[in-house]
Amino acid sequence: EEKSKREQRRREHADRLRSLAAKRRESKLIERRATLTEYDRLATQLSSGAITEAEFLEQIQEGGFEDREDFERHHKQLRKKVEDTLQRMQQQEESKASGEGGESGNSEEQKQSKADAESERERFPLLFVDQSTLTDEQKKERRKQLLLKSAEAGRARRRREKEQEEEARQAREREEQKKYEADPEAYVNELHKTRQRLQEAREKRRNANQSLDRRRNLADKRRVLQAVMGSGSSTPRAERGRSGGAGNGEEEDTFGANEEDWHLYKQMARTRGEIGGDESESEQEKEELQWLERLLHKYDPKTMQREQEETNYPQARDFQIELFVERVKPPEVIYQPSIIGLEHAGLSEALEGVFRNLGHKLRDRVCRNVVVMGGNSLHPNFCDRIFYHVRSACPAGLPVKVTHANDPKLGAWGGAKLFALSGKLPESSVTREAYEQKGRDYLEEHEFSNPYHPTPKA
């Protein structure tokens, strides 16, 4: 008796599940048929000339379609789904009619389908009315209802996709469990080998991409240099501007004046894969690695824990510092203090101010005898940079000579030593009385000093 009761409950539960499935199919069929009717009406109006092409495109774009081709593709797919569903339902009804109790089951499904249809009519009443009888306001409201209905269908589809993914995951877990139970040691070893193979392939691809990026970066630097300095010209822009520019028949640097000039940077980014490029690692590979690690944590937790503890120890890469523009910024502060927030004149502005205040005869002599000394002058290409700024500050055609001191670090000290031994130091020094009377800004003028300009009183 207990066994018969359990069998009866099982049959009732199965009947309920079948009934719910039939209700969902019926509701979905009603939605699809209503949507198909709307699509048919739009296609008929377009073919008969009742609406223009522009009106047709406006309506389908409001419905979420990109263009006419997208609409026709969805229209065809929806018609096929409706026909297939009707065919399956007809076959099920015929099979039920041949068995006992088929009529009662069909009557229940019909009642539920009618209830679902009535619910659809209550929520979206305008979808079941001929559009030719509607006013303009009602047509707008009808389009809104169609969008809401489509959104509901989309949410239901996403729910079904998640359910299918979950079912597939559970089925795969059951299959992996069977493999583990058959031979645990061989199964775990195979998981480790597969994981190691994927990690090696990923690391190899990353190294190849880094090598390719380095080569591309060198090519990008050459492109920028050619674009900024001008094609085939090594003359600095400041020199060309001071030497007369276009007025002397020379080519003027106009990079950036046109919008097309800046497309160069987009092209460079595209070659590096930053724009429209594929990801270096596929999502499928990431998911597969995560799946393998999850299985290993489940079936070989000790090995995974030991591996995690080993990776927590400091590695060589933890003590590496990658330098990019930091290698250029510190020496550039000498020329542009503003890049670190200092409101002072840089070396380039100071040189320009000195040569601007010199007389013509003195400037000609100074340009031929510029001596560079000091520890900062040991930076690579420092003298070339000084030559460029002096050349920019002097008139075109004036010879410029920049000399690097033999001992840049002690050159200034050596000059001060010679000055002190010359006997002119006492008369050029500031006495205690003068310092206390005139302040710390005061200096005694001599042949090697700057001119003294008293600080204005507030």
- The total of structural domains in the chain comes to 3
Split at pLDDT 50, 70, 90, the class of 261 is low
Same domain, 137 and 6: yes
- Is 177 a member of any domain? no
CB 434 within 8 A of CB 454: no
Calculate mean pLDDT across residues 167-176: 86
Q: What is the CATH number of the domain that holds 355?
A: 3.30.420.40
Same domain, 112 and 197: no
Same domain, 12 and 159: yes
User: pLDDT tens digits for 55-78?
Assistant: 888 887 777 777 787 788 888 888
Calculate mean pLDDT across residues 319-334: 77
- Is 438 a member of any domain? no
Q: Which residues pair with 371 in a beta bridge?
A: 403
Domain enclosing residue 365, as ranges: 336-422
Same domain, 304 and 340: no
Which long-range contacts (C-beta less than 8 Å, at least 24 apart) are formed by 335-341?
Answer: 335/385, 335/389
Same domain, 209 and 343: no
Question: Over the chain, what is the mean pLDDT?
Answer: 76
Same domain, 20 and 159: yes
Q: What is the pLDDT of residue 56?
A: 80
Q: What is the pLDDT of residue 114?
A: 58
- Is 59 a member of any domain? yes
Same domain, 363 and 308: no
Same domain, 188 and 164: no
Split at pLDDT 50, 70, 90, the class of 222 is low
CA 383, CA 376: separation in Å to the nearest integer?
A: 10
| Pairing between β-strand 370-372 and β-strand 402-404 as defined by DSSP bridges | parallel
User: pLDDT tens digits for 14-67?
Assistant: 777 777 777 777 778 888 888 888 888 888 888 877 788 888 888 877 777 777
